Amino acid sequence: KGFYVRRIFITHLGSLYAHKGLIFYNNILESVFKRQRWYRPRYSTAQFKREAMAQLTEIEQFNADYLKPRFLR
């Protein structure tokens, strides 16, 4: 179950945050996203919360709010 949950996180919530430029400090997430041509790491976690989270669209915010409690326990 743990592997499946992490995979869902990487696929959905991690991808949403990666598209917005979050720098991942987790080696697995970093290695997954740094292979993507579109990934441009720009924000530390604190910067991301202050700056990028405010730029999420309504749908992106809904998706993040839906996924976070399910995968970040």
Neighbour count for residue 33 (Cβ, 10 Å): 21
pTM equals 0.78
Residue pLDDT, tens place only, 12-42:
888 999 999 999 998 888 998 999 999 999 9
Distances (CA, A) of 64 to 6, 26, 35, 58, 67: 15, 19, 23, 10, 5
* pLDDT recorded at residue 73: 59
| DSSP secondary structure of 12-36 | IIIHHHHHTTBPP-SHHHHHHHHTS
* pLDDT recorded at residue 22: 95
pLDDT band at 5; cut points 50, 70, 90: low
8 Å CB contact between 65 and 29: no
